[in-house]
Chains A and B, each alone.
Chain A
């Protein structure tokens, strides 16, 4: 049974906050770090912010980025952008300026909603945001006044939102309109934008509410960065259920004991996090010292949860239901598997059947369907699917298939088997994409970036055996050059997302080659993954 009221179904993502405010006029929406906000308060604040965007010249379909530490203001910024009819582009507040600049330029971002200190680090002036004409900022806006002056960008201080008017009329938004554009690592080192619509985002929210039975009593511990696609759960599914979001700052996510302290104190009922973070919480979260009587459900995603660690976490939280959630950002979450017992050592957990209207097709190398239980590449058809890769019709075409008159399929690149009862098992990738701490990294992208370093001739990167959750690389240096690992890491910090900076780098004189004379990347990657610290 779902707890969604049949009446007043929202028509687009832009209507989610207003509907929650009508359903729960006294209900807590966001528990911020310093104070909490009711749904009507959030509705009021997002509407004023949406009006500021419209008054600032933002038109329907234009891109507006969010650049600030996570918190109630980032949630409000997202919904204000949607209500203004613009396309929301979340940026990683911790990413180097060059990474933000690449997204601002590729997406053609017109306006930025953020926090002055975070914006100052990204330097969206100086040509880094070529289309930018408006910045709405909290924090000490005077600290960026001189940077903005003369750049042609208008700066509006939004610390006191109540001083600004409510909108008389906002653009009409329909289901077919694009809603958000989220960037992920690309195989050439250039990030690619995944464009979703109001329709695909709302379909995901409905699917999540139904399958996890989200309701008004749910209190979600917000465990993912805004720039990460898993955040659509807190941004869209929780408002649809008119539940409550307990905000966690980025430091809370890096200090498990601080996370568990707040999650327990705030009586959270549901967690949705990447496997890496949940393992950190298991190891360092002092779980045994807290009261978990409120926690009904833990959802994990991003990568395979090692059986021993998952079992230990389930035993530490014996009254909590565990669910494995799967889905590339291109289709939102498409599969859910509810565990009935902790896994035995070495036992895998399925990614489950498709949820909602999601259909799974497994094909062989000739793109023909394989029999149940046979390995192949997973194609997904679902109403939660993206529209396209932003300005990359080549990538969109390469990842889309149609069979006869059937639906469009998204080619996931994941190797799976599907049982006759619909249960899907994940076995790996058909390309060189890996997950590190839950974040997608294309190894070719890292390698081509490293090979741009003046000292490096060749580079091969792969998940590290030295320190799980990080990358290691083997490089061939130019003659006469000595390896300076820290120098390469610092150089990479301006070009790669933090998770993709190799934590370990070793040097080889030459690299092994395949019979056809290519660098045997597979062999080197196996060696990197098997490596152990010898010191």
Chain B
């Protein structure tokens, strides 16, 4: 996969994640999620929401996310989730 395609795929995944969080995870209708929104300190994603995001990423990228990778650093923003998915896709 060349870099341009990766970037497009990443942008698409980021958009899908934002839409998914807005519609299925977030309970705050006034704050649409952006790729760099801090999801954790704002309380947008709780412990159950985090598991939904893990499943979403696993299905959309056909990857397995090891529990040791489900961390604050990797799930703090949509951008960091996309970076994790891309890293796991390229090493799969």
Could you tell me which A residues sit within 8 Å of B by CB distance?
Answer: 69, 93-94, 249-258, 261, 280, 283-286, 289, 437, 467, 469-470, 486, 489-490, 493, 498, 501, 503
Contacts and interface: CB of A to CB of B under 8 A. Distances in A.
Interface in B47-83: 47-48, 50, 66-73, 75-76
A376 B63 CA distance: 52
A94 B67 CA distance: 25
A368 B28 CA distance: 50
B67 A252 contact: no
B67 A251 contact: no
Contacts of A467: 48
Interface stretch (B1-9, B10-18, B38-46, B84-92): B38-46
Given A94-B43, A251-B76, A489 B27 contact: yes
Contacts of A283: 67
Contacts of A486: 23-24
Contacts of A256: 67, 70
Contacts of A251: 40-41, 72, 76
Nearest to A92: B43
A257 B67 contact: yes
Contact of B71 (A93, A261, A469, A501): A261
A192 B73 CA distance: 37
A523 B26 CA distance: 31
Interface string B24-35: 100111000000
Contacts of B71: 255, 257-258, 261
Given A490-B27, A490-B29, A493-B27, A286 B67 contact: yes
B27 A501 contact: yes
Contacts of A503: 48
Contacts of B46: 94, 254, 498
B-side interface size class: 20 to 34
A469 B48 CA distance: 9
Nearest to A277: B47
21 contacts: A249-B41, A249-B72, A250-B40, A250-B41, A251-B41, A251-B72, A254-B40, A255-B70, A255-B71, A255-B75, A257-B70, A258-B73, A283-B67, A285-B67, A286-B66, A286-B67, A286-B68, A490-B29, A493-B28, A498-B43, A498-B46
Contacts of B73: 258
A506 to B, nearest CB: 17
B27 A284 contact: no
B91 to A, nearest CB: 18
A69 B41 contact: yes
Interface of B: 23-24, 27-29, 40-41, 43, 45-48, 50, 66-73, 75-76
B70 to A, nearest CB: 5
Nearest to B22: A486
Nearest to B44: A94
B28 A258 contact: no
A498 B25 CA distance: 12
B23 A258 contact: no
Closest 6 CB pairs of A and B: A493-B27, A286-B68, A251-B40, A94-B43, A284-B67, A254-B47
Nearest to B68: A286
A253 B45 CA distance: 12
Contacts of B70: 255-257, 284
A376 B40 CA distance: 43
Contacts of B29: 490
Contacts of B27: 489-490, 493, 498, 501
A182 to B, nearest CB: 20
Nearest to A93: B43
Given A249-B41, A254-B47, A255-B72, 9 more contacts: A250-B43, A252-B72, A253-B47, A255-B47, A255-B75, A257-B71, A284-B70, A437-B47, A490-B29
A437 B48 CA distance: 11
B43 A257 contact: no
B81 to A, nearest CB: 12
A503 B46 CA distance: 13
Contacts of B76: 251
A498 B28 CA distance: 11
Contacts of A255: 47, 50, 70-72, 75
A258 B69 CA distance: 9
Nearest to B23: A486
Contacts of B66: 286
B28 to A, nearest CB: 7
A273 to B, nearest CB: 12
Contacts of B69: 257
**A286, A469, A470, most chain B CB atoms within 10 A:** A286
Contacts of B68: 257, 286, 289
A134 B29 CA distance: 31
Contacts of B45: 254
B72 A258 contact: yes
B72 A470 contact: no
Contacts of B40: 250-251, 254
